[in-house]
Amino acid sequence: MFISTRLKQARERRKLTKKALADLIGISSKTVSTYESDQPQFELQDEMIHKFAIALGYPVDFFYKAVTETVDSESISFRAITKLSSRLKLATEAASINALELSEWIDSKFKNLPKVQLPDYSHDNRNDPEIAATELRDVWALGELSVKNMIHLLESKGVRVFSLSEDCKDVDAFSFWKGNKPFVVLNQFKTPERSRFDAAHELAHLILHKHGCQNKGREAELEADRFASAFLMPKGSVLAKVRPNANATLKDILTLKKSWNVSAMAMIRRLYDLDCLTEWQYRQLTISATKEGYRSREPEGLEQREKSLLLEKVFMSLKGRGYSRIDICNEITLPLDELSSLTFNNPLFSLSIVSHTQLVNGQPYKANLSLVK
């Protein structure tokens, strides 16, 4: 049976208005509205469903798949929701449903995925960002060292991390809880340093603003930024390298940022917050860095972007057991480009087939997962 909400989901994911989709099909926007309604006035014919599938680039089976999981839009933490157009907001919300269904499918295949180990700091004094960041580092035994890989760290603590390929400056990342499972979705069009900060920022939302509308508004965003800064650049390790009121130059900033794999702008702000820069020094460095274009590009940046280790292991394990990408697409009923977008452009979903051995740290990579029998 045709599921009307699937048509709406696919259309919004493709960022199409009802009129735009109607023009592609050769029908009226009113007809599209009728097909998307909970109780359509007449049954949609198979021929029309095929037309929608072709226009939207979704498998036909997608439109017949029952909806078992939904995401409450109010639970999603967007970085700059005031800047998001309605069309882009709906597209990212549709992507969150796709990510959730992909996650549920992975759960059905594997039985030893990492358990959730996120504390809830939304009800006590640890919701102070600096205190929370310090406490969480202690709980996770991270010490004062730089976090080597934020995505790997989150995944090891049970956070499901997916990617988003939206070439839009207004979409950084977003996060949400679905039941007892935390999700983070990162935009791959940001710099590697920005993505690391985004991951830490969304971690803050997950533990500081877990309940209700606490993750909304400017104040929550500032708290998440402060947490991310403190989590990525621990106070003790920063002060061990930089003395208070240091007369740092942009050259010094570029050297320092490499110790914690953060952006130059984030490094400048952290030094100011820790009283290593006066307000005048902070303003001058910010002005100079902005003139150099550091807000849109990263000088002497990281060569490689952090990617999901869990998803790599999952799909390598499935491939080793005879699953093809067509098998996976058919079971999940998502288009190839959407699976690629969600999985950090995993090679299995590449539009060109490449045969090579995956290497990690120079050694052949072996998955360590157990399929559900």
At residue 38, the pLDDT reads 72
Predicted confidence (pLDDT) at residue 352 exceeds the cutoff of 60:
no
Predicted confidence (pLDDT) at residue 26 exceeds the cutoff of 90:
yes
Give the distance from CA 190 to its chain's centroid.
11
Predicted confidence (pLDDT) at residue 157 exceeds the cutoff of 50:
yes
At residue 212, the pLDDT reads 53
Rounded-to-integer distance, Cα 161 and Cα 159, Å: 6
Integer angstrom CA distances of residue 321 from 25, 161, 237, 317, 367:
40, 24, 45, 6, 11
Predicted confidence (pLDDT) at residue 173 exceeds the cutoff of 90:
no
Predicted confidence (pLDDT) at residue 358 exceeds the cutoff of 80:
no
Out of 137-151, 169-183, 310-324, pick the least confident: 169-183
Residue 335, C-beta contacts closer than 8 angstroms, at least 6 positions apart: 57, 58, 59, 329
Using pLDDT thresholds of 50, 70 and 90, give the confidence band for residue 93: confident
- For residue 48, what are its two tokens? 């029309």
Domains and their CATH numbers in the chain: 1-67 (1.10.260.40), 106-232 (1.10.10), 235-291 (no CATH)
At residue 1, the pLDDT reads 84
What's the average model confidence in pLDDT over 295-315? 94
- For tokens 């594997």, name the residue: 110
Burial 107-142 (b: 16+ CB within 10 A, else e): eebbeebeeeebeebbeeebbbbbebbbbbbeeeee
Integer angstrom CA distances of residue 231 from 146, 159, 267, 285:
9, 17, 12, 22
Using pLDDT thresholds of 50, 70 and 90, give the confidence band for residue 79: low
Rounded-to-integer distance, Cα 159 and Cα 31, Å: 41
- For tokens 């394990």, name the residue: 317
Amino acid present at 11: R
Q: How many CB atoms lie within 10 A of CB 307?
A: 20
Amino acid present at 331: E
Length of the chain: 373
Angle at CA 93, nearest 5°, toward 92 and 98?
90
Rounded-to-integer distance, Cα 149 and Cα 167, Å: 23
Rounded-to-integer distance, Cα 256 and Cα 368, Å: 37
Q: In the Cβ-directed half-sphere of 108, how many Cα atoms lie within 13 Å?
A: 9
- Provide φ and ψ at 117, rounded to 5°: -130, 50
What's the average model confidence in pLDDT over 344-349? 93
Angle at CA 252, nearest 5°, toward 247 and 257?
125
At residue 371, the pLDDT reads 47
Predicted confidence (pLDDT) at residue 361 exceeds the cutoff of 50:
no
Amino acid present at 120: D
Name the nearest CA neighbour of 160 among 195, 113, 215. Answer: 113
Predicted confidence (pLDDT) at residue 85 exceeds the cutoff of 90:
no
Residue 14, C-beta contacts closer than 8 angstroms, at least 6 positions apart: 56, 57, 91
Residue percentage of the chain with pLDDT more than 70: 86
Name the nearest CA neighbour of 314 among 292, 286, 347, 291. Answer: 347
E strand or H helix that includes residue 13: helix 4-13
| Parallel, antiparallel or unpaired: strands 173-178 and 181-187 | antiparallel
Out of 3-7, 116-120, 326-330, 349-353, pick the least confident: 349-353
